[in-house]
Structure 1
Amino acid sequence: MIEKVIIQNYKSINYLNLKLNDEMNILVGNNEQGKSTILEAINLALTSTLNKRNIHNELNPFLFNKNIVEDYIKNIRKGKYDAPPSILIEIYLKENDQTAFLKGTNNSIKENACGIRLSVEFDDDYTEEYEQYINQSNNLKNIPIEYYKVNWYSFASNPITSRSNPVKCVLIDPTEGKHWSGTDRYISSVIGETLDPKQRATLNFNYRDIKEKFSEIDSIAQINCTLSEKTGEISDKELAISLDISQKNGWESNLTAYLDDIPFDFIGKGEQNSVKLKLSLESTSEEAQVILIEEPENHLSYSNMYKLINQISEKCEGKQLIITTHSTYVLNKLGLDKVVLMNNGHHMTLRDLKEETYNYFKKLPGYDTLRLLLADKAILVEGPSDELIVQKAYIQKYNKLPIEDGVDVITVRGLSFKRFLEIADLLKKEVSVVTDNDGDVNKNIIDKYGDYYLNHPTINICYSEDTKYPTLEPQLVSVNELSVLNQIFEKDFKTKEEMIKYMTSSGNKTECAMRIFDSNQEIVIPEYINEAIK
C-alpha cells in the first residue's frame, strides 16, 4: 500500500507531500485543485503510462508546472542558464516481503524507505546541443522536451520495469467516453478465459468467413462494378469495397456490448458510467492493489449512486482506493475521516483539526463542509436572514449574485464559525464572517475569534462596533429611512423602535429579509456587510 506521495512540478502541482490511508482516500476540492492530477501522477509512477501509452511516447512541455516553466524562460531571457526544470513523482510504499527490494534512500527527502520514483529530467548527453539551442533561440517559449529522458527507479537505485514492479495499479475514469476501452477489454478477457484455443480458432475462422462473403452480396457486387468503371479517375489499380479481414481487425475489436438489446453507446450516460466503472473493477481489481477512481458519481441519481458506492466498497475490500469527488453523498457514505481536503496547493484531513472540531464535522452532514471547499471564496453568516441581506448587498454592488463570482454565502447554524475557520485557516481559503456584536464587542468578537480577529491573511471578521444595535435588524433600521422600510414591508410604523420590534419579533425575521431581498427598492447596507463583500 502507498503510505505517501511526493509530486514536484507536475502540471498544476508545484509541490505536494500527501500521506494516504491504507484503505480509502477521498480527494475533495474545487476544479483545478489537482485532484485528477494526483491520480494521474500516481498511475504514471506505478505504471510508466500516461493516457494509456508509455510515457516515453507522451512527453510534452505541458506536463511541467506552468509557474516553473515561466520562471525558467524568464531566467533564460535574462541570460541565467539554470538547469532545466524536471518532474518528480515518488511513491513511498509500506514495507513487506514484496516491496523490501525497493528500499533505499534514492528519494528527494533521503528517507530509508521502500518506494518507486519516476522523473522526467534533462538528459546530460544533450548538453552541447542544448547549449547551442539556448544560445541561438531568441524567442524561447517552452521547455525543449526533445532533450529530456524518463527515469524509472526504485529507492534502492535499481531500474523499474512493468514486470519487476510489485505494485499493480489501475486508473478508472468513467467519463472518458468512446476512448474508454474497459467494455471491449472486459468482453475480450471473458471470451479469452472461457474459450479453449480450438474454439478461438473456430470463432476467428467464421468471423473472417462472414467478412469475405460480404463482397459476394449482389448489391455490393454492383457497387464494386460501378467503382471499377471509375478506376482510371482514382487509381491505376482496380478499386472495390469490402470488409477488413486482416488479423488486427478481428472479432476482439468489433464486439459490441448490449444492455436489454440496446447498444451500449445508446443507453443513458449514468448507466454507461456505472457499467464502465464496474467492468473495469471486474477485469482489473483482482490483480491491482491500488485502484484510482475519477468522480464515480457522474450522471448518477442518488439511488444509483448508493448502489455503485456499495459495490465499489465491496469489490475493493483489502485494496487501497483513492477517489476524487464533488459529491456530498460520497463523502458521507464513505466517511469524512477518509477525506483529503484540497485548496490552492494546500491540503489537510479532518484529523488535522482540533479534536472537538473533528468531532463536530464527524457529526455534521458534509454538505456545508463541501460548499466551503468548492467555493472560490465564502461568506459565513449566522442565519437565513443574514444570508438574504448579504445576497441583496452583493446584487446592489455588483449587479449579480455572489455565486456567479464563485462566492458562496453559507449559513452556519449554532454559531460554529470557528469550526469552519479552522479549515479555512489550514487550507488558506478566503473567508469572511458576518456576525452580530450582541451588545459586547470584546466578549463576542475579539475574545471569541482570537487569532482570526487581527491581520489574518485570508480570514476577515466583519461586525459593527455600535453596540446600541446588537443584531442585523437594528443595524438595518439604523442606516435606512423609516419610510423606505415601511414601503418594503407595507407598514406604517411611526418610530424606528416600533420597526425594530416588528423586524426582530419571532417569525418576522426571515420574512422581513425575504421582502428586502425581493424588493426593487435599493436600501442602505450596514458598513460591516459591505466590508464582507468587497
Structure 2
Amino acid sequence: MIEKVIIKNYKSIDYLDLKLDDTINILVGNNEQGKSTILEAVNLALTSTLNKRNIHNELNPFLFNKTVVEDYIKKISIGKRVTPPSILIEIYFKEDNQNASLKGSNNSIKENACGISFSIEFDDDYTEEYQQYIEQSTNIRNIPIEYYKINSYSFASNPITSRSNPIKCVLIDPTEGKAWNGTDRYISSVIGDTLDPKQRATLNFNFRDIKENFSQIESISKINSTLSEKTGDISDKELAISLDISQKNGWESNLTAYLDDIPFDFIGKGEQNSVKLKLSLESNAEEAQVILIEEPENHLSHSNMQKLINQISEKCEGKQLIITTHSTYVLNKLGLDKVVLMNNGKHITLRDLNEDTFNYFKKLPGYDTLRLLLADKAILVEGPSDELIVQKAYLQKHNRLPIEDGIDIITVRGLSFKRFLEIADLLNKEVAVVTDNDGDIDKHIIEKYGDHYLKHPTIKICYSDDTRYATLEPQLVSVNELSILNDILGKDYTSEAELIKFMTSSGNKSECAMRIFDSNQKIIIPGYINDAIQ
C-alpha cells in the first residue's frame, strides 16, 4: 500500500507531500485544488500512462506547473542560462515481501524506503542543442519539451516498467468517455476488458463476418451496380460501398451496449456513470492493489449512491482506495476520519485537529464542514436570523448574493465557532465570524477567541463594541429609524424597547429577519456586519 506521495511541479501542484491511509482516502476541496491531479499523478507514476496512453505519446509543456514555467521563461528572457524545470512524482510504499526489491534511498528526501521515483526531466544528451536553441530564440514562450526524457526507477535505483512494477493500480473516471462513431469509447473498452480472450476472439470474428456479408445484401448489391456504371466518369477502377474490414478489432468503434433495449448513450447520465464505474471495478479491481476513483457521485441520487458506495466498498475490500468527491454523502458513508481536506496547496486530515474537535466533526453530518472547505471564503454566523441579515447586507452593497462571489454564509450553532476556525487556521482559509457580544466583550469575545484568532491574518472576528445592544436585533434597532423597521415588519411600535422585545421573542426572530431580507426597503447595516463583508 502507498504510505506517502511526493509531487513536484506537476500541473497545479508545485509541491505536495501527502501521507495516505492504507485503506480509504477521500480527497475533498474546491475546484482547481489538485484532487484529480493527485489521482492522475499516482496513476502516471505506477503505470506510465496518461489519458489511457503511454506518457511518451502525451508529453506536452502543459504538464508542468505554470508558476515554475513562468519563472523559467523569465530567467531565460533576461539572459540566464538555466536548466529547464522537471516533474517529479515519488510513491512511497509500506514495506512488505512484495515490494522489498524497491527499497533504497534513491529519492528526494534520501529516506531508506520502498518506492518508485518517476520523473520528466531535461535530457543532458541535448545540452549543446539546447544551448543553441536558447541563444538563437528571441521569444521563448514555453519549455522545450523536445529535449526531455522520462525516467522511472525504484528507490533501489533499478529501472521500472509497468510490467516490472509489483504494485498494480487502476484509475476509474466514470465521467470520461468521448463519443466515437456514435458509441461510448469508454464503455466499449471496459466491456472489452471484461471479456475473456476467447469471448473477444468470438466477438471479433462474428463482427468481421457480418461486415464481409454486408455487400451481399440485395439492396446494397443494387446500389453497387449503379455505382459501377459510373466507372470511367469518376475513376478507371470500379466504385462500390461496403463496411471497413481492415481493422482487426473494429467492434469497439461500431458496437454499443444496450440497457433494456436502449442504447447506452441514450440512458440517464447517472446510470451511465454507475455502469462505467461498476464495469471498471469488475474488469480491473481484482488484480490491482490501489484503486483511484474520480467523483463517483456524478448525476446519482442518494438511493443509487447508497448502492454504488456499497459496491465500491465490497470490491475494494483489502485494497487501498483513493477517491475524490464533492459529496457529503460519500464523506459520511466512507468515513469522515478518512477525509483529506485540500485548499490552496495545503492539506489536512481531521486527525490533524485536536481530539475534541476531531470527535466533534466525526459526529457532525459533514455538510457544513464541506461547505467551509468548498467556499472561496466564508462568513460564520450564529443562527438563521444572522445569516439572512448578512445576506441582505451583502445584497445591498454588491447587488448580488455572496455565494455568487464564492462566499458562503454558514450557520454555526453553540460553541462550535472555534472548531471551524481550527480547520480555517490549518488551511489558511479566509473566514469572518459575525458574533454577538452578549453584553460582555471580555468574556464572550476576548477570552473566547484569544489573541490567536483576534490577530489572525486570514480570520476576522466581527462584533459590536457597544454592550448596550447585546445581540443582532437590538443592533438593528439601534442604527435604523423605528418607522422603517415598523414599515418592513408591519408594526407600529413607538419605542426601541417595544420593538426589540417583539423582534427578540423566540417565535419572531426568524420571521423578522426574513421580512427584512425580502423587503425592497434599504436598511442601515450594523458596522460589525459590514466589517465581515468588507
Query: Given the two structures, how large is their TM-score scaled by the length of structure 2?
Result: 0.96
Where in structure 2 are the equivalents of 1:365-404 lying within 5 Å? 365-404=365-404
Structure 1's 230 and 298: CA in aligned 2 closer, same or farther, altered over 3 A? same
- Is residue 188 of structure 1 aligned with residue 192 of structure 2? yes
Instruction: After TM superposition, give the deviation of residue 225 of structure 1 in Å.
Output: 3.1
The Cα of 1:244 is off from its aligned counterpart by: 1.5
Q: How does 1:452-491 map to 2 (within 5 A)?
A: 452-491=452-491
CA 1:234/1:6 → structure 2, altered by over 3 Å: closer, same or farther?
Answer: farther
- Worse overlay, 106-115 or 503-512: 503-512
* Counterpart position of 1:48: 48
> Given the superposition, is the C-alpha separation of residues 231 and 88 from structure 1 closer, same or farther in structure 2, using an over 3 Å criterion?
farther
Q: In the alignment, which residue of structure 2 is the partner of 1:112?
A: 112
CA contact (8 A) 2:185 2:253 kept: no
Structure 1 residue 71 corresponds to structure 2 residue 77: no
CA–CA separation in structure 2 for the residues paired with 1:40 and 1:231 = 54
Give the structure 2 partner of residue 239 of structure 1: 239
Q: Is contact 1:182-1:280 (8 Å) kept?
A: no
Q: Residue 192 of structure 1: CA displacement? A: 2.6
Q: Deviation at 1:189?
A: 4.3
What residue identity is the alignment partner of 1:154?
A: S
Contact 1:182 1:279 in 2 (8 A): no
Query: What do you get for the CA RMSD once the two structures are aligned?
Result: 1.6
Question: Structure 1 stretches of 5 or more lacking a match?
Answer: none
Deviates more, 1:294-303 or 1:215-224: 215-224
Q: 1:377 to 1:312 in 2, by over 3 A?
A: same
Cα deviation, 1:311-337, whole Å, max 9, x if unaligned, reads 000010000000000000000000000
Number of residue pairs the alignment of both structures matches:
530
1:339 Cα deviation after fit:
0.2
TM-score (norm 1): 0.96
Between stretches 246-255 and 296-305, larger displacement belongs to: 246-255
Q: Which amino acid aligns with 1:462?
A: C
CA distance in 1, matches of 2:38, 2:247: 38
Q: Does the Cα contact within 8 Å between 1:452 and 1:459 map onto a contact in 2?
A: no
1:265 is displaced (CA, Å) by 1.6
* Equivalent residue, structure 1, for 2:288: 288
Superposed displacement of residue 471, structure 1:
0.7
Q: Secondary structure at the match of 2:118?
A: strand
What is the match of residue 433 of structure 1?
433
1:255 positional shift: 4.0
> 1:28-66 CA deviation, whole Å, 9 max, x = no partner?
000110000000000000000000111111110000001
Paired residue for 2:321? 321
SS at match of 1:413: coil
Structure-to-structure mapping, 1:347-358, within 5 angstroms: 347-358=347-358
Secondary structure in 2 aligned to 1:248?
coil
Cα deviation for residue 222 of structure 1 reads 2.7
Q: How has the CA–CA distance of structure 1 residues 193 and 205 changed in structure 2, closer, same or farther, with 3 Å as cutoff?
A: closer
Q: Deviations over 1:243-300 (max 9, x none)?
A: 1222424446544322112222221111111010000000011110000000000010
Distance (whole Å) between structure 2 residues aligned to residue 190 and residue 100 of structure 1 = 31
* Deviation of 1:446 (Å): 1.3
Match of 2:168 in 1: 168
Deviation readout 1:160-198 (Å, 9 max, x if unpaired): 011110000000000013366553344334543565x9x
Paired with 1:234 and 1:434, the residues of 2 have a C-alpha distance of 80
In structure 2, relative to structure 1, the CA distance for the partners of 1:81 and 1:496 (3 Å cut) is same
Determine the structure 2 residue equivalent to 1:299: 299
Structure 2 residue aligned with 1:529:
529
Preserved CA contact (<8 Å) 2:170 2:290: yes
Counterpart position of 2:36: 36
Q: 2:443 is matched with which residue? A: 443
Provide the residue aligned with 1:91 in structure 2: 91
Task: Return the alpha-carbon distance in structure 2 between the equivalents of residues 430 and 68 of structure 1.
Answer: 25
Does structure 2 conserve the Cα–Cα contact (< 8 Å) formed by 1:452 and 1:460?
A: no
Structure 2 residue identity aligned to 1:82 = V
Contact 2:463 2:528 in 1 (8 A): yes
Judge conservation of contact 1:73–1:140 (CA < 8 Å) in 2: yes
Equivalent residue of 2:178, what SS?
A: helix
